[in-house]
C-alpha cells in the first residue's frame, strides 16, 4: 500500500488529484437509505469510489466537523463567499477508516443532520445502512420506495 504524503496544509483539491492518480477506486457495497420527509420517497446515498479510496487510505480527507463549520457559514443570510476555506486544507486530515466508519462519516457529511441526529427515535428508523443487494434491483416504482417498517438483515431495505 502506498504511503500518503504529509498533507496537512496542502489544498484538499491537490490531495484529491494525488489520490485519483495513485489510489484504486473502491466500489462500496453499502448504501444509505433515509427519509427526510413523510411526503417523499426514500433517498439513497451512494459513496463515490474515489472518495471511499481516500477514506480507506487515510491522511487525505479533513475531519467531518470542517464541513459542518462551512455549512454554518453558508447558512448565514449574508453569506457571499467562504472565508474559512482554509479549514479544509489546514486541519489535520483524518487517519485511515474502515468502510463502516467511512459510511458513518459520509452520512454526517452528506445527509441532513435532522435525519441522522435522531435516526431511530420515531416509530420507524429514518435512516438505514444496507447492502446494495438489499435494495430493489430495478427502478420500478422508484417514487414509492420507503424504508421497510419491519427490517431484518435478510429482508429488502426499501
Using CB under 8 A, list all residues that contact another protein: 5-7, 10-18, 20, 27, 31, 40-41, 43-51, 54, 61, 67, 70-71, 74, 80-82, 85, 88, 106, 109-110, 132, 135-139, 142-143
Q: Which of 134, 120, 18 lies closest to 7, judged by CA?
A: 18
The least distance separating another protein from the CB of residue 133, rounded to whole angstroms, comes to 9
Contacting residues for 47 by C-beta, under 8 A, at least 6 apart: 28, 30, 102, 103, 106
Query: Which residue number, 129 or 135, has a Cβ lying nearer to another protein?
Result: 135
The least distance separating another protein from the CB of residue 130, rounded to whole angstroms, comes to 10
DSSP for 74-95? Answer: HTSTT--S-S-THHHHHSPPP-
The least distance separating another protein from the CB of residue 75, rounded to whole angstroms, comes to 10
Amino acid at each position: 500500500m502506498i504511503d500518503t504524503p504529509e498533507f496537512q496544509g496542502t489544498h484538499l483539491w491537490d490531495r484529491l488529484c494525488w489520490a485519483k492518480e495513485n489510489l484504486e477506486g473502491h466500489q462500496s457495497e453499502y448504501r444509505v437509505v433515509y427519509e427526510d420527509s413523510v411526503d417523499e420517497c426514500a433517498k439513497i446515498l451512494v459513496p463515490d469510489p474515489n472518495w471511499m479510496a481516500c477514506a480507506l487510505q487515510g491522511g487525505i480527507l479533513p475531519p467531518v466537523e470542517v464541513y459542518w463549520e462551512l455549512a454554518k457559514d453558508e447558512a448565514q443570510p449574508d453569506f457571499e463567499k467562504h472565508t474559512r476555506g482554509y479549514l479544509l486544507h489546514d486541519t489535520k486530515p483524518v487517519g485511515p477508516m474502515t468502510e463502516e466508519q467511512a459510511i458513518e462519516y459520509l452520512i454526517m457529511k452528506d445527509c441532513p443532520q435532522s435525519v441522522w441526529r435522531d435516526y431511530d427515535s420515531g416509530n420507524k428508523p429514518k435512516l438505514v445502512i444496507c447492502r446494495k443487494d438489499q435494495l430493489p434491483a430495478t427502478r420500478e416504482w422508484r417514487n414509492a420506495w420507503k424504508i421497510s417498517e419491519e427490517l431484518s438483515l435478510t429482508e429488502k431495505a426499501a
